[in-house]
């Protein structure tokens, strides 16, 4: 194990313990040993001054696409896991829509093993909900869980068959995992490339109506109520879905939800000029939707911020809007976008932002991490809440550059990311001593 | 597009009428006036674009627009090359960027592009130094069509200001409707759209037009009835139950036109589906200005080619005489 590490003089924010204040933090043997007034500091401890910086539980991203196997030119498990720690994430959930998809235990094992070797964030495989993501036959959910899957989804595609969705919500209860849904009616969305509305009308682009998301969310919520299963709604983009989730939860449905930084920051206006870097599914919506997402997040209707990190090669995005692929990268801009768009604007307190990025995801999924409580795994992010920086995609650790935030000045930057007690990202780029010795 | 409003500086390209000012739109129409006469001559050619190479790059089939451009180019003395998607490297999977760069490498001056995807013309314009003229990009815009329609309306009424224009039919899928809406609004017309609700795009009112639900009402209201072609595949896609019913409910017939004002005219961008959106006796009747539209198309395209190639609008008359 590495030397003990003492973070001295930071502002410790841990919503899981209602903590926000000055304090030191001692990491030893991969776990958090002490917090606050640390009295017993081991002699060999490395002391790091984090004055002026925030020390928080490492971020957990419930929604990333790492593209391996199959599209390694866009991202690999390694490059994605390294991009994750650069963004302050200590755990990411890898979606199964790779080529081939992650629909059997061997594939789950591959993702786990490659994730463990990557030396970045912890990589948790999410298994396919149906074989080959076809939406027909349920995968061997129990086998996938035994191999390390943390949830099941057909993400990229919706689980469209209502009967399959019902069975999944029932069957997964044996294993205590959620059914993770990309909520979209593929028929209502057919051919759509952006939000349906005035901007699409002016640009002559085919629209995707809010109802396409809301209709499936409504159906799934009723199925969650019927079955008692855990439904997790991915990338909520509409005001209608926020309302539906809120009312179903008040009736006792076991539902959790996530929202992306880009849906919180941008609207359909970003598409003007046929900007393919603003093309994603679900699409950027209107200001009314964005405001509903922001207040839904602030009020806790939406539990988590997740990036839907979706790397694409520049050749894919450098083309006609209709033909460009959906999706944007998000791991390395998430903190800056959330700080600039949510905290600076007064929508979320710093502590609530940390909750939605760390504790919320851990709590709703019953994961380890998402806390600085002594004895917990030392998954920690240290960030400067004030630092201004300009997004330069060329600096990304991700292999892809498709971001709608290029050139934007953001506030808030990750300085150090610790996974299991080991510093896996450090900014400015002095290599941690341990990595240097390992490299030899 | 770097468009100054004070003069007619159009910039490098013509992508859409949304990007132009009122002065620019009217300036193009004014420039088209002297070019009308060239097509009436025995020898229909002036050397304004002599030595210039123009590529007509058509990724979608088109007869009328391509021929109209080709006449305009040839009557101005340009050398033209036509590329259509069938049999070109486009079908071999070449990207739009690569196609453009290869053309550019052959040292051309202008590209007239028709493409099935909205934004494709602007995409091309941003990536090559040649002038780009949009001859229709997906459901976005078809600016020269809009201009020729404006010219036709102005010919008939003397001015577009204050005229009531209703566009009838498949607004949802129509680039012609969009270019007309922008152009007409800039020129001071009052604009409405009419059609089955399945073919009226969401949020269209926010562009500054109103929606008239019934064609009878539209006919009584307007000075100009602009009838759009109903693509036959819209029926298969379920937007309308049948062409027969479409004709019954929205078809423009002489009986319906009985309630129109005396001076009301009918436009259509062609090609017509006679008996579907428009009946033959209307298409061929006294209110129809459909053939004058086609004639104006050549003059408007000559004006656009001339202006983008750097021509001075005030010297269009001289250019026409051949001494520019």
Contacts of A140 (CB under 8 A, 6+ apart): A104, A105
Query: Which pLDDT score is estimated for A434?
Result: 46
Taking the C-alpha atoms of residue A383 and residue A361, their distance in angstroms, rounded to an integer, is: 19
- Which two tokens mark B20? 């132009």
Residue B6: predicted pLDDT: 42
Q: Give residue A431's pLDDT.
A: 47
Q: Which residues pair with A194 in a beta bridge?
A: A207
- The pLDDT assigned to A318 comes to 84
Q: What are phi and psi of A340, to 5 degrees?
A: -70, -40
Question: B201 contacts in A (CB within 8 Å)?
Answer: 200-201, 207
Percent of chain A with pLDDT over 70: 97
Using DSSP bridges, classify how beta strands B164-168 and B224-227 pair: parallel, antiparallel or unpaired: parallel
Q: What is the pLDDT of residue B207?
A: 96
Report chain A residues whose CB lies below 8 A from the CB of B139. Answer: 204-206
Nearest CA in chain A to B136: A204
> Over the range A363-379, which residues count as b (16 or more CB within 10 Å of their CB) and which as e?
bbbebebbbbeeebbbb
CB contact under 8 A, B202 and A197: yes
A308 pLDDT more than 50 = yes
Nearest CA in chain B to A318: B97
Handedness of CA B239, B243, B249, B254 (dihedral sign): positive
The proportion of chain A whose per-residue pLDDT surpasses 90, expressed as a percent, equals 92
Judged by CB atoms closer than 8 Å, whether chains meet at A207 and B202 is answered as yes
Position A433 scores a pLDDT of: 46
Nearest to A364 by CA among A83, A93, A140: A93
B285 CA to chain A: closest CA distance, Å? 33
Please report the pLDDT score of residue B78 as a whole number. Answer: 96
Q: What is the pLDDT of residues A124-176, one digit of tens each?
A: 999 999 999 999 999 999 999 999 999 999 998 999 999 999 999 999 999 99
**How much is the pLDDT for A130?**
98
Catalytic residues of B: 64-65, 92, 114, 142
User: What is the CB neighbour count within 10 angstroms for residue A109?
Assistant: 17
Marked catalytic residue, from A308, A355, A379, A384: A308
Model confidence at A233: pLDDT above 60: yes
Is residue A92 over pLDDT 80? yes
Q: Do A201 and B138 touch (CB under 8 A)?
A: no
Inter-axis angle of helices B22-36 and B143-157, nearest 10 = 70
Segment A248-277 mean pLDDT? 97
> What confidence score (pLDDT) does residue B90 get?
56
The 3-state DSSP composition of chain A as helix, strand, coil percent (nearest 5) reads 35, 25, 40
Compute mean pLDDT per 10 residues along chain B, 324 residues long, and list them.
Answer: 53 96 96 92 90 93 94 96 70 74 90 95 93 96 98 97 98 97 98 97 96 97 97 84 94 96 97 95 97 97 95 76 60
């Amino acid at each position: 194990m590495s030397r003990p590490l003492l973070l001295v003089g930071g502002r410790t924010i841990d919503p899981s313990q209602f903590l926000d204040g000055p304090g030191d933090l001692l990491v030893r043997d991969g776990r958090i040993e002490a917090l606050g007034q640390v009295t017993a500091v081991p002699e060999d401890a490395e002391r790091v001054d984090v004055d002026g910086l925030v020390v928080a539980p490492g971020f957990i991203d419930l929604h990333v696409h790492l593209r391996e196997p199959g599209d390694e030119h866009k991202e690999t498990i390694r490059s994605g896991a390294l991009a994750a720690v650069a963004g302050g994430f200590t755990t990411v959930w890898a979606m199964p829509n790779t080529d081939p998809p992650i629909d059997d235990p061997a594939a789950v094992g591959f993702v786990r093993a490659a994730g463990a070797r990557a030396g970045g964030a912890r990589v948790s495989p999410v298994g396919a909900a149906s074989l080959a993501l076809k939406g027909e036959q349920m995968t061997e959910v129990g086998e996938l869980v035994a191999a390390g899957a943390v949830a099941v989804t057909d993400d990229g595609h919706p689980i469209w068959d209502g009967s399959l969705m019902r069975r999944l919500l029932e069957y997964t209860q044996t294993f205590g995992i959620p059914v993770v849904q990309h909520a979209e009616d593929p028929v209502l969305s057919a051919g759509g490339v952006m939000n349906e509305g005035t901007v699409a009308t002016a640009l002559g682009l085919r629209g995707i109506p809010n109802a396409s998301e809301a209709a499936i969310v409504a159906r799934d919520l009723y199925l969650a109520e019927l079955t008692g299963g855990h439904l997790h709604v991915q990338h909520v983009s509409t005001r209608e879905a926020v309302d539906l989730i809120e009312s179903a939860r008040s009736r006792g449905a076991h539902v959790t939800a996530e929202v992306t930084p880009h849906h919180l920051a941008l609207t359909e206006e970003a598409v003007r000029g046929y900007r393919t870097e603003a093309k994603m599914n679900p699409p950027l919506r209107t200001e009314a939707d964005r405001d509903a997402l922001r207040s839904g997040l602030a009020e806790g209707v939406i539990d988590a911020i997740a990036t839907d990190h979706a790397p694409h090669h520049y050749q894919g995005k450098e083309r006609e809007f209709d033909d460009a692929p959906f999706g944007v990268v998000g791991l390395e801009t998430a903190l800056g976008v959330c700080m600039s768009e949510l905290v600076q604007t007064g929508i979320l307190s710093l502590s609530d932002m940390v909750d939605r990025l760390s504790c919320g995801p851990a709590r709703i999924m019953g994961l380890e991490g998402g806390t600085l409580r002594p004895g917990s795994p030392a998954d920690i992010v240290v960030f400067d809440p004030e630092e201004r920086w300009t997004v330069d995609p060329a600096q990304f650790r991700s292999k892809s550059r498709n971001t709608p935030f290029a050139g934007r000045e953001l506030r808030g930057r990750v300085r150090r990311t610790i996974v299991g007690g080991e510093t896996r990202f450090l900014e400015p780029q002095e290599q941690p001593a341990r990595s240097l010795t390992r490299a030899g | 597009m770097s468009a100054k409003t004070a003069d007619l500086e159009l910039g490098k390209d013509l992508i859409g009428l949304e990007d132009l000012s009122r002065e620019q739109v009217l300036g193009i129409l004014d420039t088209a006036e002297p070019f009308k006469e060239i097509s009436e001559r025995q020898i229909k050619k002036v050397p304004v674009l002599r030595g210039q190479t123009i590529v007509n790059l058509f990724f979608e089939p088109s007869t009328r627009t391509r021929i109209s451009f080709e006449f305009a180019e040839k009557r101005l003395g340009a050398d033209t090359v036509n590329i259509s998607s069938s049999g070109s490297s486009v079908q071999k999977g070449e990207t739009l960027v690569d196609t453009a760069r290869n053309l550019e490498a052959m040292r051309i001056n202008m590209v007239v592009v028709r493409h099935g995807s909205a934004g494709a013309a602007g995409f091309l314009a941003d990536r090559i130094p040649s002038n780009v003229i949009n001859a229709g990009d997906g459901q976005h815009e078809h600016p020269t069509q809009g201009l020729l329609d404006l010219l036709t309306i102005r010919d008939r009424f003397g001015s577009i200001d204050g005229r009531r224009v209703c566009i009838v039919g498949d607004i949802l899928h129509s680039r012609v409707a969009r270019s007309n809406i922008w152009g007409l609004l800039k020129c001071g017309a009052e604009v409405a759209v009419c059609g089955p609700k399945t073919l009226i795009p969401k949020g269209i009112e926010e562009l500054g037009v109103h929606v008239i639900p019934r064609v009878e009402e539209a006919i009584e209201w307007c000075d100009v009835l602009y009838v759009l072609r109903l693509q036959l595949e819209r029926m298969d896609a379920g937007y309308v139950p049948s062409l027969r019913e479409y004709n019954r409910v929205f078809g423009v017939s002489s009986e319906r036109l009985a309630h129109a004002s005396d001076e009301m005219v009918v436009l259509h961008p062609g090609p017509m589906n006679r008996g579907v959106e428009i009946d033959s006796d209307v298409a061929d009747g006294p209110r129809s200005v459909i053939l004058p539209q086609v004639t104006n198309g050549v003059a408007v395209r000559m004006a656009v080619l001339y202006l983008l190639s750097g021509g001075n609008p005030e010297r269009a008359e001289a250019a026409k005489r051949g001494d520019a």
